[in-house]
Structure 1
């Protein structure tokens, strides 16, 4: 059957090929009167090639866009989006991308619901991690459609399954905190645990602190991640942990918590290699985020000012209108944090 003039052409290439059928479309002419052709793609059967040519004629698209892989699209999304989001969200997207490894080399236009669902179904992490993966899928389809990659958004059909209740956050008891103090000179990284308990910092925040962010003379540091309320906030230093911070600070390293190379420690290394070892040695059962909950509990039990607690922890509050701290503000925060 002859195709209409200007419609394009489909023909079979010679040799033993996995996809021998080619679909092409004339997109213009040179000054010498020669055709300028665009290759739509290569296909297993003539019918597949005809279908592709038909789809192209109905809705012309960028052939380059149709060949971009899942991994390449993520990199483009990353370059556009990461400068505008928090470090915590960056890590979340990156972790979700790693969990989607089986999709990395697939053309994005070939990814279907079954492929996305398979990533979720085979994820060995909890519901929260699966949710982050789905959010990544949502963002990638939105980016693809915005950039004229003609795909159907299958991410909306991904089923995360029943939400798990998850492990309840357990605060460190007074006895457990004393145990940490008893061993702080004998075991490495117990100091980091105590610093989180007495500052309310998230573990992801602690490892981003640079030595230049710490002001020992005025007893505070600047840091924080997550959102606009907690980023770059003033965190007063409880007098109990000042000696621990002073001892760990090193002029040789940029970061306060550094790895064996003197570089910033990754959360995975901190948790798997440092945190778990301390918990095992002291026969404790806690996760790093329990430190933050312990801080909130200690401050509440000590009757600390509620607004000060929110400022220190980086929680949003209608009583906090800006992030400008005066010396009076910092002194007040130090008074409150020393109540624990």
Structure 2
């Protein structure tokens, strides 16, 4: 089904990484680290900007697919809209383009029409909570502010910590 339905793999990437819909279109190929399996990006808040999120093993082949596609296009962005006839200068994924593709997926797969592009972010956070991922790890990955002084100021985490936490999602 993934290879048959365009853009469903981007939804899955969002479900396993928690990016905001608009952030997906801003992820730069230079910030995709396939050696350490993580992507750095984000926006909106100080905590959300330039955050690093591990790539869950389940979606690694999907990220590689989009990475290779972007490289072939010589694009600086990970996700590009090549599924329609569009001018080369407008391949960049915007929120509106993503919403259009989500709506097309909903229609094609006969899903609940109430779904929105942000739902995959909600799914990520819910999967993390259900899997027992550390609350602060969730906040770091989704770019939410940490107000606890002990955690924010005094706790130093090993870089592998987020990778170990995301692996709790089965």
Short-chain TM bin: 0.7 to 0.9
Residue of 283, 288, 298 corresponding to 2:117: 288
Alignment pair present for 1:254 and 2:76: yes
Is the CA contact 2:19–2:121 (under 8 Å) kept in the aligned structure 1? yes
Q: Match of 1:321?
A: 153
Q: Match of 1:228?
A: 46
Runs of 4+ deviating beyond 6 Å: none
Residue of 99, 118, 137 corresponding to 1:271: 99
The alignment's TM-score, normalised by the length of structure 2, stands at: 0.84
Is the CA contact 2:24–2:93 (under 8 Å) kept in the aligned structure 1? no
Q: Match of 1:302?
A: 131
Q: Match of 1:202?
A: 20
Alignment gaps of 5+ in structure 1: 1-182
Larger radius of gyration: 1
Residue of 144, 162, 165 corresponding to 1:336: 165
Q: Distance in 1 between matches of 2:30 and 2:125?
A: 26
Residues 202-254 of structure 1, C-alpha deviation per residue, up to 9 Å, x if partnerless?
Answer: 11111100111100110111000111110110111101011100011121211
1:110-129 matched pairs, under 5 angstroms:
none
In the TM superposition, residue 321 of structure 1 has moved relative to its aligned partner by: 3.4
1:105-254 matched pairs, under 5 angstroms:
183-249=1-67, 250-251=70-71, 252-254=74-76
Q: Match of 1:91?
A: none
Alignment gaps of 5+ in structure 2: 83-87
In the TM superposition, residue 320 of structure 1 has moved relative to its aligned partner by: 2.4
Residues 289-313 of structure 1, C-alpha deviation per residue, up to 9 Å, x if partnerless?
Answer: 1111111111001011111111111
In the TM superposition, residue 259 of structure 1 has moved relative to its aligned partner by: 2.4
Q: Distance in 1 between matches of 2:161 and 2:2?
A: 28
Q: Distance in 1 between matches of 2:117 and 2:168?
A: 23
RMSD, aligned CA: 1.7
The alignment's TM-score, normalised by the length of structure 1, stands at: 0.43
Q: Distance in 2 between matches of 1:296 and 1:269?
A: 24
By relative contact order (CA 8 Å, sep 6+), the higher-ranking structure is 2
